[in-house]
Amino acid sequence: MASITKQDKQFFADVAALLAEARGTAYRAVNSIMVETYWHIGRRIVEQEQSGKERANYGEKLIENLSRYLTDTLGSGFSEPNLRNMRQFYITFPEFATRRVANLAWSHLTRIMRLDSAQEREYYLQEVSRQNWSVLQLERNIASGYYRRLLSTQTVVTSENELTVPYLAEHFVKDPLVLEFLDVPEDLTGKETLLETATINKLQKFLLELGKGFSFVARQQRISTETDHFYADLVFYNYLLKCFIIIDLKTTKLTHADIGQMDMYVRMFDALKRGEGDNPTIGLILCSDKSEAMAKYSFLKDSQQLFASKYKTILPTEDELAAMVGQEIRKLLTSEAMP
């Protein structure tokens, strides 16, 4: 057998890449066609139900009989629950066929359309499309209240033409952050190194929880003056905000000293590390708890560079999440109402 040269190997790799790209394109095309077809099937079911609404239980019998007919004719994939999902798909998104929303699989849509809020559904439609979330990532974000946690801090950007909307730091800060994927104890008092190490070990998931545009820069980043050295726990860069983001990890309740320390880090980073064209550095303190007084009377109030968020190391229940988000919204409204 003739030996394979380096050029041959590159040629083989190029051909394999072409085939892989073609298969991916074909899959996306087929998926898009099937999703649109399911919408049209749902529309036809609703129209047929409406034309036969004078008959008792017509809708249930219609779907039952249609399922039997399609299964006998075309095979599996047309169970009664799946046909009901198609019907619900049309009812939930009556204008979907006129839109172009990429990267959405049927599994994404069946999960999103069960959300009660139209605004929340729209947010997840856009984010799955833009961020190419997997179904598992979507499930996790819905379960952890991703949208509502953003909403509790500031208005969520959901414009279809997102590039026309200015990126602001508050659009990226969730409160609380849910870090159940770290697999650490709920009580981390005095274990900041454990929290930091777990974050680095699960960095990809941590970046997804932080949100859009984040890239990792350094752990224990040294910031030095002529006489002193200081170390920031985690440093990231956000290409949408065009700035560095320093994260300080605290396993206790937020204190005034924590805020003062972060303020110093941000000022030093701006003076010593910030590059030409970068926006001002942002400091985010992650703490196990924070008081209303700290948010109202410290540097955090009205600051465009300093933020504090609680973190949860277990997935909150629906009631706990609602309570936390409600508390943050009340704080925001109270703050905005103050002179």
* 148-337 is classed CATH 3.20.20.70: no
Residue 38 has pLDDT above 50, yes or no: yes
Distances (CA, A) of 24 to 12, 20, 37, 246, 318: 18, 6, 20, 38, 37
In whole angstroms, give the CA distance from residue 190 to residue 174: 24
Domain coordinates of the chain in residue numbers? 6-93, 148-337
Tens digit of pLDDT for each residue in 76-118? 888 999 999 999 999 999 888 777 677 788 999 999 999 999 9
Q: How confident is the model at residue 75 (pLDDT cuts 50, 70, 90)?
A: confident
pLDDT for residue 165 = 39
Tens digit of pLDDT for each residue in 229-266? 899 999 999 998 999 999 999 999 998 899 999 999 99
In whole angstroms, give the CA distance from residue 202 to residue 196: 10
Q: How confident is the model at residue 302 (pLDDT cuts 50, 70, 90)?
A: confident
Dihedral sign for Cα 103, 202, 275, 254, please. positive
pLDDT for residue 324 = 67
pLDDT for residue 14 = 83
* Between residues 283 and 150, the one the model is more confident about: 283
Residue 30 has pLDDT above 50, yes or no: yes
Beta strands in the chain (DSSP E): 177-178, 214-224, 229-238, 243-249, 282-287, 306-312
Helices 58-74, 6-51: inter-axial angle, 10-degree rounding: 140
Residue 53 has pLDDT above 80, yes or no: no
pLDDT for residue 160 = 42
Q: How confident is the model at residue 153 (pLDDT cuts 50, 70, 90)?
A: low
The number of helices, as runs of H, and strands, as runs of E, in the chain is 12, 6
Mean per-residue pLDDT of the chain? 83
In whole angstroms, give the CA distance from residue 40 to residue 44: 6
Residue 158 has pLDDT above 70, yes or no: no
* Mean pLDDT computed over 273-293: 88
Residue 318 neighbours by CB distance under 10 Å: 9
Where is average pLDDT lowest: 2-6, 124-128, 232-236? Answer: 2-6
* Mean pLDDT computed over 66-81: 90
Distances (CA, A) of 58 to 45, 62, 200: 11, 6, 57
Q: How confident is the model at residue 318 (pLDDT cuts 50, 70, 90)?
A: confident
